[in-house]
Structure 1
């Protein structure tokens, strides 16, 4: 049988699909270069901080550095599933997704090299909950897709990656950077980096919400049960990461309070659950035509 190509069909690419709308946003908004952001003032601010203040920023950055490397390395199996299923538009979007994750790795490493001048082994900051979530749960859920591309496996992978690692843990981390940097008026370069990352991640999370909604609309309660179970399994790990960040500090620097970040993480978790619950009342046609909730409020 002769080969046929999706993009040569009479209908061509479907630009109405959520993934294609995210693809067009990524082309406009995701083209930023970590090396073009001026970190001169950041380095000056770093030298003025005391040891404990440096330590908490280094701790947060090392968690992000390890996390961004993990999500970069673990995304490919999902792209392969979309290719196998012939979902060209989704695979196209995921190419920008992977590219953005790789830039995030570069951005945090540049901070470590050029601002903190840090070249020790930062795995000392990778706490038990972080190791479990990023070192075990994420690669296992994503790696399973290499041999099991069932709807349940896809749902478990997306919950782990998009809803928990990005939607709860990373967004709580961005909130922490805001408290450290914006509130204290320091490190304008890193403030720009975090702003760019947050915008990228909003598209990633939007894709995860779409993917999970599509799976629920297509396959019903069995997929929803997987989603609900996975969310409840991983929430304690995400909260554990937050708690473990504060453990070394009897009095956290910069006036930080663990309770504020735990509450923020729980709030993000609630938002993810609410978004996904909408899919239980939607048809597949409604999901495919739904408005994207990317949290890019300035757009």
Structure 2
């Protein structure tokens, strides 16, 4: 598509735009490098684990590694869709978003290599629900944006990418890593990386919440589309968590298992359910505003006060 103007030639960036503020935050806080994380203790910890304990970590890593690669290769259509719409500040922020996801993919692959499991095919741990989300729905909804940047298409893409994959599955995954390995005093390297990821994903969630909110402000039809989409995806998202937790429960039920790792499967399921409800409530706040302009003003005020929105 040929250009017919340039915003920064005819005028300036919108310095108060919510996504420009997020872009500035990403520049300040996104300066970590996976290559600088020391995984030597992680390698030692993994080497001392029993085979049964290793079977606790492998499904989690399989889920994270595949998920981070998926969101890295599937984000580009959103960048192009918002660029076509002339949303320059959103596009600026998404350049940092893409960089974040690339580092997340590198982190897990680097960790797998460093602890000695880089050559293991872990795809057997991707169950039906996982495949529905990451192999099918995510790429399909994102790729639709190449030819369709309608509110419906953007809401459906941001819902699965930001609200479900990042807001439910990734957040529950971070929680599980800390519950299992931080409490056990294991894997300080990957836990440090998880802290970085969690901080990055906070910005990504803000993008998703804002992007959907501006499309539901003053538009009840779009809000209902979002709620219906969340409800449609929830059984598959919950299925990912239920599969992983059930694997653990079945393993621990065997008398021969030798494992000192403690993992509350029920707590993990409840945590995922809580994230599902939180994401819906966060987006629903956009209904308070008559239009996107009012929403932008409220976001700008929240940023200035350094409060959550």
- Normalised by the length of structure 2, the TM-score is 0.91
- Residue aligned with 2:145, SS: helix
Count of matched residue positions in the alignment of Structure 1 and Structure 2: 293
**Distance in 2 of aligned mates of 1:272 and 1:98:** 22
RMSD: 1.8
**Distance in 2 of aligned mates of 1:116 and 1:244:** 25
- Could you list the per-position Cα deviations for residues 46-91 of structure 1 after superposition, in whole angstroms to 9, with x for gaps in the alignment? 1111112112212101110000111111111111111110011000
> Are 1:18 and 1:290, in contact at CA under 8 Å, matched by a contact in 2?
no
> What is the CA-CA distance between 1:2 and the residue it aligns to?
9.0
Moved over 6 A (4+): none
> What is the CA-CA distance between 1:131 and the residue it aligns to?
0.5
> Are 2:39 and 2:115, in contact at CA under 8 Å, matched by a contact in 1?
yes
**Distance in 1 of aligned mates of 2:188 and 2:263:** 20
Gaps of 5+ in 2: 253-258
**Distance in 1 of aligned mates of 2:202 and 2:4:** 37
**Distance in 1 of aligned mates of 2:3 and 2:156:** 36
> What is the CA-CA distance between 1:3 and the residue it aligns to?
3.9
Residue 5 of structure 1 pairs with residue 12 of structure 2: no
> Are 2:155 and 2:212, in contact at CA under 8 Å, matched by a contact in 1?
yes
Deviates more, 1:86-95 or 1:246-255: 246-255
Gaps of 5+ in 1: none
**Distance in 1 of aligned mates of 2:7 and 2:141:** 29
> Which residue does 1:170 correspond to in 2?
170
**Distance in 1 of aligned mates of 2:204 and 2:181:** 24
> Are 1:22 and 1:203, in contact at CA under 8 Å, matched by a contact in 2?
yes
- Cα 1:2–1:215 shift into 2, 3 Å: closer
**Distance in 2 of aligned mates of 1:181 and 1:256:** 9
- Residue aligned with 1:146, SS: coil
> Are 2:42 and 2:187, in contact at CA under 8 Å, matched by a contact in 1?
yes
Residue 62 of structure 1 pairs with residue 70 of structure 2: no
- Cα 1:64–1:77 shift into 2, 3 Å: same
Equivalent residue runs for 1:1-299 within 5 Å:
3-10=4-11, 12-217=12-217, 220-249=219-248, 250-252=250-252, 254-283=261-290, 284-291=292-299
**Distance in 1 of aligned mates of 2:82 and 2:244:** 36
- Cα 1:43–1:225 shift into 2, 3 Å: same
> Are 1:75 and 1:98, in contact at CA under 8 Å, matched by a contact in 2?
yes
> Are 1:23 and 1:96, in contact at CA under 8 Å, matched by a contact in 2?
yes
- Cα 1:167–1:2 shift into 2, 3 Å: closer
